[in-house]
């Protein structure tokens, strides 16, 4: 009996010992696996793999982990000074949009109502060249306005934040945290720029807007770019040596978060010198047969080629001949198919989402197909395409039958609500001489005593701008967006600029053979 008790006691001791061993290896094994694990955002251990973080956003997906004592997490965000926006125009500080501190908040919860700040993580801020600008040793705030130019108050760039464990605190287990960058937020545009052939990110692409005094930014090594802009309808331009320049129109009034990915195509190589005149022109005409009429050329193709070679017709003339041919019209294409065909035929690429949606909105608002076609034909992309085939895109001043008198007459009727008087010829002469652009003429009408004395309501004012500068009725979303801008206290001049610097007005002006607005002074 005693022996049995001894045996049972011994078995219990062995079981306890084995459990301790299992528990030890389970614990240490878990620690090792945790130290080498990767969270949903890994890899993020270098600036080139940095996580994108947006001002004032704190969401569940902002959760990150420092796995061990040497792990580090990198983040990237964009900061700029916008000289076109001053939230406090009555104070003595010009601009001021990003003159305040940025709070770098490291929290233990995505719920800010219960979140506590973590004191076991340190942060450092670097510029794109790896220069350290600030660290948590100075507190929890980073003041970009104190950074010397060109990255400071007179510049614009991407900033990198590195988070690591505080080495003064012993490592016990991995740290899960939430990162929020607190500051003044305004409409944001961000995305990736890639090479059309390799699908790799493009660095050093210069991105500018058509707003006055634009501050350009450049994409980083993986093609990421971000910029902050004031509320407006803006035109973004993407430029890189050796690539075809691209433009995109974006409305930051209607929506303040835009993901715009850009695919840039290398400039067409030099054409085969064996027959530099005939072969490219034949190829140019053949493209239209295949992309517009969806068939191979017939016996009439040589007539198009001869007209191009003799200078009788330009690329625009040939394009209109195909698009307005009975054969194409009888295909009865949908608006979406029509826009897709124009992109392929005249831009030599697939439509980008933002651009395609913009043209569909124009068509669905009632604008004719001819106006949309002119927008493509008078674009820089089509000029580049035609030049690659050794031909002229459109004749200088070509208007498709529209005159400068017609342009001025529209403003009399749509803005002043009357027929032109003897001063109309002065406006026409100023356009002919190049003294004034379409924007100059537009401001002359909208800010004339005659129009101001009409004392139009905000709603009537916006509707007049849509008809005069977009050649269509206002869509509900766009109209409400502009009314909100006016009701928030913004001057009518700012709303007018939103229309004048838009792609729609640029297309309208181009259809009359004039420049919409002068390029902003650099």
Please write the tens of the pLDDT for every residue from 152-204. 433 456 778 888 888 888 878 888 887 777 665 554 677 889 999 999 989 88
Please write the tens of the pLDDT for every residue from 54-106. 666 655 456 788 888 888 888 877 665 544 444 444 444 444 334 445 677 77
Structural domain boundaries, residue 207: 188-264
In angstroms, the CA 82 to CA 96 distance is: 8
**Residue 42 covered by a domain:** no
At 231, the pLDDT band (50, 70, 90 cuts) reads: low
Contact at 8 Å (CB) between 158 and 133? no
If you average pLDDT over residues 438-460, what whole number do you get?
A: 94
Give counts: helices (H), strands (E), the chain.
Answer: 17, 17
Instruction: Provide the whole-model pTM.
Output: 0.36
Given phi > 0 = left and psi -120 to 50 = alpha, else beta, which region is 408?
alpha
**Residue 74 covered by a domain:** yes
Domain boundary residue among 388, 420, 450? 388
Predicted pLDDT of residue 29 = 34
At 255, the pLDDT band (50, 70, 90 cuts) reads: low
At 520, the pLDDT band (50, 70, 90 cuts) reads: low
* Percent of the chain topping pLDDT 90: 25
What is the CATH number for 105? 2.60.120.380
Residues 355 and 424 in one domain: no
When comparing pLDDT for 184 and 349, which is higher? 349
* Percent of the chain topping pLDDT 70: 71
Residues 367 and 284 in one domain: yes
Residues 51 and 176 in one domain: yes
Residues 500 and 434 in one domain: yes
Residues 176 and 213 in one domain: no
pLDDT at 17 over 60: no
When comparing pLDDT for 5 and 356, which is higher? 356
What domain count does the chain have?
Answer: 5
**Residue 269 covered by a domain:** no
Residues 201 and 143 in one domain: no
pLDDT at 379 over 50: yes
Residues in Cβ contact with 508 at an 8 Å cutoff, skipping those fewer than 6 apart: 371, 469, 470, 471, 516
**Residue 522 covered by a domain:** no
In angstroms, the CA 434 to CA 440 distance is: 11
Name residue, tokens 């890639």.
194
Number of Cα atoms under 13 Å in the Cβ half of residue 260:
30
If you average pLDDT over residues 128-146, what whole number do you get?
A: 67
Residues 161 and 198 in one domain: no
Between β-strands 63-66 and 175-182, what pairing exists: parallel, antiparallel or unpaired?
A: antiparallel
Residues 63 and 126 in one domain: yes
Residues 371 and 323 in one domain: yes
């Amino acid at each position: 009996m005693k022996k049995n008790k001894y045996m049972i006691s011994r078995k219990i001791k062995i079981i306890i010992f084995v459990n301790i061993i299992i528990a030890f290896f389970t614990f240490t094994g878990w620690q090792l696996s945790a130290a080498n694990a990767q969270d949903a955002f890994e890899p993020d251990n270098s600036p080139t793999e940095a996580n994108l973080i947006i001002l004032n956003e704190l969401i569940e997906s902002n959760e990150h982990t420092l796995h061990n004592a040497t792990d580090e997490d990198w983040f990237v965000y964009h900061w700029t000074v916008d000289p076109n926006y001053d939230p406090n125009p009555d104070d003595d500080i010009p601009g001021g949009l990003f003159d305040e501190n940025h709070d770098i908040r490291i929290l233990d919860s995505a719920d800010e109502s219960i979140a506590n700040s973590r004191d076991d993580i340190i942060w450092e801020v670097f510029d794109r060249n790896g220069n350290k600008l600030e660290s948590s040793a100075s507190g929890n705030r980073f003041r970009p306005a104190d950074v010397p130019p060109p990255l400071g108050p007179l510049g614009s760039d991407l900033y990198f934040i590195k988070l690591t464990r505080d080495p003064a605190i012993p490592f016990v287990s991995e740290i899960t945290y939430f990162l929020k960058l607190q500051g003044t937020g305004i409409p944001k545009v961000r995305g990736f720029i890639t090479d059309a052939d390799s699908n790799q990110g493009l660095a050093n692409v210069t991105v500018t807007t058509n707003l006055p005094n634009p501050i350009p930014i450049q994409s980083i090594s993986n093609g990421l770019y971000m910029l902050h802009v004031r509320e407006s309808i803006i035109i973004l331009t993407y430029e890189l040596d050796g690539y075809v320049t691209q433009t995109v129109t974006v409305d930051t009034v209607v929506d303040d978060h835009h993901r715009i990915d850009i695919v840039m195509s290398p400039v067409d190589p030099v054409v085969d010198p064996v027959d530099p005149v005939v072969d490219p022109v034949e190829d140019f005409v053949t493209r239209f047969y295949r992309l517009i009429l969806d068939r191979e050329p017939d016996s009439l193709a040589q007539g198009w080629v001869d007209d191009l070679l003799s200078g009788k017709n330009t690329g625009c003339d040939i394009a209109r001949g195909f698009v307005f041919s009975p054969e194409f019209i009888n295909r009865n294409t949908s608006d979406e198919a029509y826009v897709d065909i124009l992109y392929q035929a005249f831009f030599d690429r697939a439509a980008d989402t933002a651009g395609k949606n913009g043209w569909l909105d124009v068509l669905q608002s009632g604008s004719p197909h001819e106006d949309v076609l002119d927008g493509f034909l008078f674009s820089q992309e089509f000029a580049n395409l035609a030049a690659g085939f050794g031909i002229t895109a459109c004749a200088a001043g070509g208007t498709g039958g529209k005159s400068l008198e017609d342009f001025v007459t529209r403003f009399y009727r749509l803005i002043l609500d009357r027929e032109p008087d003897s001063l109309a010829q002065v406006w026409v002469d100023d356009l002919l001489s190049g003294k004034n652009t379409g924007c100059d003429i537009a401001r002359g009408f909208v800010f004339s005593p005659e129009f101001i004395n009409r004392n139009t309501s905000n709603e009537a004012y916006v509707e007049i701008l849509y008809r005069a500068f977009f050649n269509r009725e206002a869509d509900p979303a766009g109209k409400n967006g502009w009314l909100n801008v006016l009701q928030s206290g913004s001057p009518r001049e700012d709303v007018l600029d939103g229309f004048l610097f838009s792609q729609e007005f640029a297309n309208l002006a181009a259809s009359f053979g004039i420049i919409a607005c002068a390029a902003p002074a650099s």
